[in-house]
């Protein structure tokens, strides 16, 4: 997971507005079902967890299984009551975590 995750959300929102957040992280999501040229199974290596929090409070998270496509795309919503910072984290099977942050301001 060398690439920077791609995150799409508006820069500002009205108080109480529900915004849509789109995220995508580059990852092979090796399912553990495939075999290499020698017929040996390729070990599973996936992103097993994704979490999003806003100003330290959980918004949305998910546990992912090998049935998730490569380069996992996750789209969800969030209600904005105050300005602040979204934190995103993807956890790999090997324990490494890719983190990202996005700020959002209140309109008007």
Partner 1 sequence: MGAINRRQAFLLGGGFVALTVMPMAANAEPSNDAAELIKKFTDGKEAAKGKITLDLPEIAENGNTVPLALTVESPMTSDNYVKEVLFVADGNPNAGVATLMFTPMSGKAEASIRIRLAQTQNVIAIAKMSDGSLFTERKTVKVTIGGCGG
Residues of this chain that bind partner 1 (CB under 8 A): 18-19, 31, 33, 54, 57-70, 72-79
Question: Is 46 in contact with 26 (CB distance < 8 Å)?
Answer: no
CB-based contacts of 55: which residues, under 8 Å, 6+ apart? 82, 84, 85
The residue among 1 and 64 lying less far from partner 1, judged by its C-beta, is: 64
Radius of gyration of the chain (CA): 16
* CB closer to partner 1, 61 vs 85: 61
* Smallest separation (angstroms) from partner 1 to the CB of 42: 14
CB of 68 to partner 1, least distance (A): 6
Question: Cα(49)–Cα(67) distance, rounded to whole angstroms?
Answer: 13
Cβ-based nearer residue to partner 1, 26 or 31: 31
Closest separation in Å from C-beta 83 to partner 1: 14
DSSP state of 70: S
């Amino acid at each position: 997971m060398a690439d920077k995750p791609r995150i799409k959300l508006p820069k500002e929102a009205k108080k109480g507005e529900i915004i849509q957040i789109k995220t995508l992280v580059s990852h092979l999501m090796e399912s553990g079902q495939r075999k290499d040229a020698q017929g040996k199974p390729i070990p599973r290596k996936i992103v097993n967890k994704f979490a999003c929090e806003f100003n330290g409070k959980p918004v949305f998270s998910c546990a992912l299984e090998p049935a998730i496509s490569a380069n996992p795309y996750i789209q969800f919503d969030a209600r904005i009551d105050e300005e602040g910072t979204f934190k995103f984290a993807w956890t790999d099977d090997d324990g490494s975590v890719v983190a990202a942050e996005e700020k959002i301001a209140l309109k008007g």
